[in-house]
Amino acid sequence: MDPSPSSPVPEYKPTKTQEDQWVVESQIFHNYNLFCNSPPNLQAVLLEIQRDNHIEYLMKGLRNLGPSFVVLDANRPWLCYWILHSLALLGECVDVALERNAIDFLSRCQDEHGGYGGGPGQMPHLCTTYAAVNSLITLGGRRSLKSINRAKIYSYLRRMKHTSGGFSMHDGGEIDVRACYTAISVASVLNILDEELTQGVGNYILSCQTYEGGIAGEPGSEAHGGYTFCGLATMILINEVNRLDLASLTDWLVFRQGIEGGFQGRTNKLVDGCYSFWQGGAAMLIQRLHAATDEGHDSAESDEGSTSSELSDDEESDSEISPDQEEGHDCEVDQVDSASIPVHIVRRHTELPPLFQSHALQQYVLLCSQMEGGFRDKPGKHRDFYHTCYCLSGLAAAQYSWSKDADSPPLPRSVLGPYSNLLEPINPLYDIVLDKYYEAREFFTKASEL
């Protein structure tokens, strides 16, 4: 019997995803080739943070926004945070008049029953509450911090608590990991976090960790960089991080950094400058958790099984966090007061290298996202305040990823470009500049004692 003629091989046709990826790679490597073929003096200029241009862009936005920004009318506290935090990362302060205007405006966004809306008279929302609180902490000073009504915010957070263990974004709003993070972050930084707020949160976030290892916005959805950061930071703040499968989460996270040097937010998606923080900040947190485990092991060896660690100047833990535990695995857990956890994380001494290619990330931000005033998602996109904020936050995370602890400035080799590129350090749990976080922590600790 004669064999049947072979079927013709169908012509290969790339998917839209592949085509888009190739276009982005072409644009990015065009930038990199221009840099590599430039003389050394021009390379030095290209790798320099254009501080003055960024500050001018940010100050202009803080003073006045054009009519096109009307679409962000419900996000005005976010605009304050993105701009003020970017300025703080660059080491720039606003003048007294702008500071007072910002405080007065945000006070008018504060609802009489608690929480902050997207503008004066608007419904309070957890996201804009987070943005407003972070903005006021970033401004700093007694007037700014005292303007936050902690008692009413606590009542608002209680009202947003959902029977699932998570939180609603607003009255009748969606329940997701963002809501958990913004609620717990605000409660933690204001020193009003208690068991009523944390109850069930860990179970909800655990239900959102996917088969890939990352965390989705809600159960059954796709793992996403922003939600992964939110879920991880929340679990650290409520002291339940050991319940996550951190080994799987770490694998998923590190493979989100592609050949472009930057991070993508999801599998098979394009690189985006904002994930420099959402993924880079999450990696920074995991690095600190690994350091906590290593210190626990060292302490156990020296003390024959008993572990202790310096959490703050006068607090001790009973045991250490393991970053490799899945739910149900044996693991010793840090039984520490939740209020001490943010200090515990940022002060953690570490000899571990970063979990991602920090120079590659800095290269992407400086050569592909940076513009002459502001930052963008990727080549071909426009600058905006959101990407400016999170590109700078990610750049700070990359610069300090080699630092042994919060009080040790990075070595020059850790900072791509001139050392003058060095930004202010952050507390990655909140994405607040570190000295502003310490000021707020002291203020709200004293306020709780009154």
| Catalytic site positions | 224, 266, 269, 272, 274-275, 377, 384, 387
Give me the long-range contacts of 155-161 (CB less than 8 A, separation at least 24): 155/113, 155/114, 156/111, 156/113, 156/114, 156/115, 156/124, 156/129, 157/114, 157/115, 157/183, 157/186, 157/187, 157/192, 157/197, 158/196, 158/197, 159/114, 160/115, 160/126, 161/196, 161/197
Closest by alpha carbon to 160, among 131, 133, 195, 196? Answer: 196
- Enter the tokens of residue 7: 């079927």
Residues 6+ apart with CB under 8 A from 286: 232, 246, 249, 250, 253, 323, 355
Residues 6+ apart with CB under 8 A from 107: 147
Task: Write the DSSP assignment of 393-418 as a string of letters.
Answer: HHHHHHHTTT-SSTTSPPPGGGSSS-
Task: Measure the CA–CA gap between 54 and 371, rounded to whole angstroms.
Answer: 9
Whole-Å CA distances, 304 to 36, 133, 311, 369, 444:
54, 44, 21, 51, 38
Whole-Å CA distances, 169 to 1, 94, 129, 182, 336:
70, 31, 10, 9, 28
SS3 213: coil
Residue 319 phi, psi (nearest 5): -160, 180
Task: Measure the CA–CA gap between 420 and 184, rounded to whole angstroms.
Answer: 35
The single residue listed with the structure tokens 């050949």 is 259
Task: Write the DSSP assignment of 75-112 as a string of letters.
Answer: GHHHHHHHHHHHHHHTT----HHHHHHHHHHHHHHB-T
Closest by alpha carbon to 175, among 106, 126, 237? Answer: 126
Task: Measure the CA–CA gap between 238 and 244, rounded to whole angstroms.
Answer: 13
- In angstroms, how far apart are the furthest CA atoms of the chain? 96
Task: Measure the CA–CA gap between 271 and 313, rounded to whole angstroms.
Answer: 41
Q: What does the DSSP 8-state code read for residue 365?
A: I
